[in-house]
Structure 1
Amino acid sequence: MPLETPARIVRALVSRGYNAEREAVTLIAGTDDPGVTLAQVVESTPDDALRITADHVREVLASAPATDPSSSAPTGPPGSESESGAASSDTSAADTDPPVSDATSGDNEEPVGKSTPPEAKGSGSGRNQDTSLRSLEIANDMTGQSTGTGEYDDFVKVFRDRYEKLSKMLRGRVNHRPAKAISNMSGGQDAELIGLVDDVRSTKSGHWIVDLEDTTGTFPCLVMKDKDIASYVDELLLDECIAVSGTLSGDAGILFVDDMYFPDVPRNHRTNTADRHVQAALISDVHVGSQEFMADSWHRFADWLHTEEAEHIEYLLIAGDMVEGVGVYPNQDEELDVIDIYDQYEAFSEYLKEVPGDLDIVMIPGNHDAVRLAEPQPGFDDELRDIMSAHDPQITSNPSMVTLEGVNILMYHGVSLDEVIAELPSDKASYDDPHKAMYQLLKKRHVAPQFGGHTRLAPEELDYLVMEQVPDIFHTGHVHKLGWGKYHNVLAVNSGCWQAQTDFQKSVNIDPDAGYAPIVDLDTLNMTVRKFS
């Protein structure tokens, strides 16, 4: 029986113990009888080869006898076989509004505001990428660097490091004086302070008192309710770093705040772009092992990655939750298709083999993965790395800064988004617009500012969760909602999931956006969203 799609060809090769170059799969898929061609390629491949190359396929095709065109019809270009699918939905309203293209129906819309040069479109000659042009670097990987023991001194070190890093971002805006020095000043003087938010409380009159703590002590700051900056108080999270300026009261016991500053992304931030037309696919929350894992949608996604339409996608970034995990939430075992955690990773690895073998893949863990829950999360251990070795992925910690051809992409799974959404007003952060919660993290320059809440944070010598470098792209997952937008030119993307609604999600009123793949042009930072569900 003929093999009809590239992903089926890949699965057939994997079952025979081979990986394959993307162009090799495309060549096989474009022949009159892909099944016969595949069998011939496997038979002619040297016994010690583990990878089918395009040259292997060309040798077979060159030696094959010519066929009578009237005896069999070609199967058509890769990916031409389409399945019916609903039109894309307007899933997110944001600063940028790329189209959602239904990949199950062959829709091929271009991003708004983008004109793709002719040389960037598929030429019909197959996918032949020069991997020597690629560049992938990972920073802030703390795998193997954990020093925390849970002792008191560890907590002091991580908060001191947080304060030092974030206060540097604010010192250019205020003339900071330590809290201890301000407490010794005379009443009525102007004062400016940088500190971590220790407490926020309201007065009987409806004003706000914000206690700020630095390395010398804590000082109370009063924000009057009729001030324009009073709205900023609604955005504050405990333990984030801010700066204030104002005037001391008559007895110098409190600072009347006139202005409030956040570390923030500069409004004139200039993003980096790649020097050539190249794309990255951003996905997360695959959840293999769940009864609700959408295998058919994944197959369609893998099929599409082998087509010429996706030929410029050279990077695949997966922001955590490769598997469903075990014991993550109450009665989860009743919703598992694969019970054993290692079997889940084995199954995930098989699905990963379906994507083109020449993709550069980067993966970070999430809260469903078999790593510690406390953030920062180190990358997977050696046993799990061996299981997930298909296509030799780069595995790094959560979070990590990944630089693709000069473009800085901050990958963070996103557990703290739950906390931000719970603490802030709905117009500032919500599950329907997860990118707005991401804006708040960019504003605070920290991926998980609040300590002691639902987000588990590990005390280390360094605070790996500070955004010391402004990213060009901020990529998260976790909340199973699709959302995107630009904040001070930084593209924020929450990439949805590959898991249909579970009973647990129904109980907490989560309606997931499943089966989507945001595709980013690294040369322009324009984005399209492909739909595979």
Structure 2
Amino acid sequence: MDETIILEKASEAGFMINKEAVDYLIGCRLQEDCLPRIFSEIDASVFVIETEHLTVLVQTLEKEAEATKTAEESKETAALPYKYSFDENMVDVLEDISEKTTSVGEYNQFVQYFRDRYTRISEMIRSRVSARPIESLPKGKNVKPLSREGNSDITIIGMISEKTTTGNQHIILTLEDPTGTFPVLINQRDTDLVEQADKLLLDEIVGITGNLTPEGTILMASKITQPDVPNNYSSNRRRSEGYALFISDVHVGSKEFMKNEWETFLDFLNGKSENPQLQKMASEIRYIIVAGDIVDGIGIYPGQEFDLEIPEIMRQYEVTAEYFHRIPKNIHVVISPGNHDAVRRAEPQITFSKEIQRLFPENVTFVGNPAVISIDGVCVHIYHGCSMDDMVAAIKGVSYQEPTSGMVEMVKRRHLAPTYGSRVMISPEKRDYLIIDKVPDIIHCGHVHTIGVQNYKNILLINSGTWQAQTDFQKKVNIMPDPAKVPFVDLKTMKPGILDFNDDY
């Protein structure tokens, strides 16, 4: 509801109304056409309407409206010929922090966290190179050859704890493993290696191959090995069918939430398209995967209160849940949180509270961020994507307008947010849930409000854009959204596509 209209209708009915009562009406689930009825039932002896005069009336009207809407939805969806039932559209949650978090911020938990990261990612690299602990490297003058052929190549695996550039434009890395630290020099004359090293991030884990200097004080690098997915990777997923849709960054509650386009999307899901092919496709949709920011939240960025249509956080979730109740009940919806949602800011994020979950229909499964799920045998890694901010700032060639460029860098490092202590807050759990352990069939991100679909080494990378038009804050930070577009995947062929709901469906 609009504040101006509330004041006008109250005045027409012969009342004044205080600010708390206006805010209460703005946050309720009723439309403005209910105002005359509400004010007509208030006792004429009331001079200034307060919240207590409205509560019972509004709750009664909300129940009536909900009952009417439920009846209409049941009538609407009953006749649609869905190919797959909800029971057929199973979801298995393979990895999720939500019931396992142990972090309280103690020193030993930081140690456990980084040891777990090093152990698991170094094993991926060790499967490709033969490495030795840093403490075993010979040191001192006149280092003896390590083989008959001379001072042969050796490899160490470590976490990058420092990265500097010398006056001669050589790159110096400090690698750390559980046994010690050691400096590595990338010679500026090796342009290919410099280009690769220039993209390396602090705290990522790499293997460095090279020769020790005669004094044994530095490793002269000749090769960098990242834990990337092998070039010959092939999925062993079982054959599936039907469609999965991927959305994120709905931002209900924002003044820039694109209601009309979202309504068109809901109509499409319910088979209301005039295009027979789209009607057929809608009948074969089995899954909708949501990668966070289903509401706009509160207090996320400076001045956000001026961008909000719904200023109360729970009311934002109530309205969002109402929208999700209109999704056909045979479709299995999976929702993961993002940085605008009412969960902890530190990653990995646990899922939504039970209070919020109870608002949504039974065909919704809630998971944390990140999460790994299986949809009828197809492995999907869901991550909202906040680390894209770090990637764009630190890696040349990664941009918001090409969001899969950052996702490729995540896969190369087998980690969703490699740098600790930058823009992304990370909770030190005993296990690093941000590692890409099992190679998925699909990685789904959001956050950057731009659309992108790319195949990288037989992994389908999807960034699903947004349902929010450009805000004033986004204009200030030069973010140009690409809204109201929905990537989809044919689960039989794994062929992707994009539906554009800026058009008339």
TM over 0.5: yes
Residue matched to 2:235: 271
1:355-393 CA-to-partner distances (Å, cap 9, x unmatched) read: 112110101000000001100000011111112x22431
Shift of 1:25: 3.1
Residue matched to 2:70: 18
Residue matched to 2:33: none
Aligned residues: 423
Name the SS of the counterpart of 1:165 in structure 2.
helix
Residue matched to 1:523: 492
1:73-100 CA-to-partner distances (Å, cap 9, x unmatched) read: xxxxxxxxxxxxxxxxxxxxxxxxxxxx
1:450 aligns with 2:405: no
Taking the aligned partners of 1:494 and 1:333, their CA distance within structure 2 comes to: 27
1:201-251 CA-to-partner distances (Å, cap 9, x unmatched) read: 111211111111100111101111122222111210100010011110010
Please tell me whether the aligned partners of residues 292 and 499 of structure 1 are also in contact (alpha carbons under 8 angstroms): yes
Taking the aligned partners of 2:65 and 2:495, their CA distance within structure 1 comes to: 35
Taking the aligned partners of 1:485 and 1:217, their CA distance within structure 2 comes to: 39
Residue matched to 1:148: 103
Taking the aligned partners of 1:255 and 1:19, their CA distance within structure 2 comes to: 72
Name the SS of the counterpart of 1:138 in structure 2.
strand
Residue from 225, 233, 239 that aligns with 2:203: 239
Taking the aligned partners of 2:441 and 2:70, their CA distance within structure 1 comes to: 37
Residue matched to 2:365: 394
User: Which sections of structure 2, spanning at least 5 residues, go unmatched?
Assistant: 1-63, 146-150, 272-278
Residue matched to 1:50: none
Taking the aligned partners of 1:350 and 1:452, their CA distance within structure 2 comes to: 38
Residue from 162, 183, 188 that aligns with 1:225: 188
Query: Which residue type is aligned with residue 426 of structure 2?
Result: L
Taking the aligned partners of 1:481 and 1:208, their CA distance within structure 2 comes to: 33
Residue matched to 1:250: 214
Query: Which residue type is aligned with residue 414 of structure 1?
Result: G
- Which one scores higher on RCO, CA 8 angstroms, separation ≥ 6? 1
Q: How does 1:299-338 map to 2 (within 5 A)?
A: 299-307=263-271, 308-309=279-280, 310-338=282-310
Residue from 304, 310, 313 that aligns with 1:341: 313
Shift of 1:525: 1.3
Please tell me whether the aligned partners of residues 282 and 316 of structure 1 are also in contact (alpha carbons under 8 angstroms): yes
Residue matched to 1:379: 351
Residue from 165, 175, 181 that aligns with 2:136: 181
Please tell me whether the aligned partners of residues 89 and 287 of structure 2 are also in contact (alpha carbons under 8 angstroms): no
Residue matched to 1:286: 250
Name the SS of the counterpart of 2:130 in structure 1.
coil
- The worse-fitting range, judged by mean Cα deviation, of 471-480 and 202-211 is 202-211
Judged with a 3 Å threshold, the aligned counterparts in structure 2 of structure 1 residues 19 and 382 are, in CA distance, closer, same or farther, namely: farther
Residue from 191, 216, 230 that aligns with 2:154: 191
Please tell me whether the aligned partners of residues 14 and 353 of structure 1 are also in contact (alpha carbons under 8 angstroms): no
Shift of 1:523: 1.5
Please tell me whether the aligned partners of residues 288 and 323 of structure 1 are also in contact (alpha carbons under 8 angstroms): yes
Taking the aligned partners of 2:328 and 2:267, their CA distance within structure 1 comes to: 9
Judged with a 3 Å threshold, the aligned counterparts in structure 2 of structure 1 residues 442 and 20 are, in CA distance, closer, same or farther, namely: farther
Residue matched to 2:430: 461
Q: What percentage of aligned pairs have identical amino acids?
A: 39
Query: Which residue type is aligned with residue 275 of structure 1?
Result: R
Please tell me whether the aligned partners of residues 96 and 371 of structure 2 are also in contact (alpha carbons under 8 angstroms): yes
Normalised TM-score (structure 2): 0.81
Please tell me whether the aligned partners of residues 274 and 522 of structure 1 are also in contact (alpha carbons under 8 angstroms): no
Name the SS of the counterpart of 1:194 in structure 2.
strand
Query: Which residue type is aligned with residue 288 of structure 1?
Result: V
1:158 aligns with 2:209: no
Query: Which residue type is aligned with residue 239 of structure 1?
Result: D
Judged with a 3 Å threshold, the aligned counterparts in structure 2 of structure 1 residues 294 and 15 are, in CA distance, closer, same or farther, namely: farther
Taking the aligned partners of 2:368 and 2:500, their CA distance within structure 1 comes to: 28
Taking the aligned partners of 2:482 and 2:425, their CA distance within structure 1 comes to: 25
1:167 aligns with 2:122: yes
Taking the aligned partners of 1:146 and 1:275, their CA distance within structure 2 comes to: 34
Judged with a 3 Å threshold, the aligned counterparts in structure 2 of structure 1 residues 174 and 273 are, in CA distance, closer, same or farther, namely: closer
Query: Which residue type is aligned with residue 373 of structure 1?
Result: R
Query: Which residue type is aligned with residue 306 of structure 1?
Result: N
User: Which sections of structure 1, spanning at least 5 residues, go unmatched?
Assistant: 1-11, 30-125
Shift of 1:183: 4.8
Q: How does 1:434-445 map to 2 (within 5 A)?
A: 434-445=403-414
Taking the aligned partners of 2:154 and 2:243, their CA distance within structure 1 comes to: 49
1:29-58 CA-to-partner distances (Å, cap 9, x unmatched) read: 8xxxxxxxxxxxxxxxxxxxxxxxxxxxxx
Normalised TM-score (structure 1): 0.76
Taking the aligned partners of 1:447 and 1:19, their CA distance within structure 2 comes to: 44
Residue from 386, 391, 395 that aligns with 1:424: 395
Please tell me whether the aligned partners of residues 294 and 500 of structure 1 are also in contact (alpha carbons under 8 angstroms): yes
Residue matched to 1:95: none
Please tell me whether the aligned partners of residues 187 and 251 of structure 1 are also in contact (alpha carbons under 8 angstroms): no
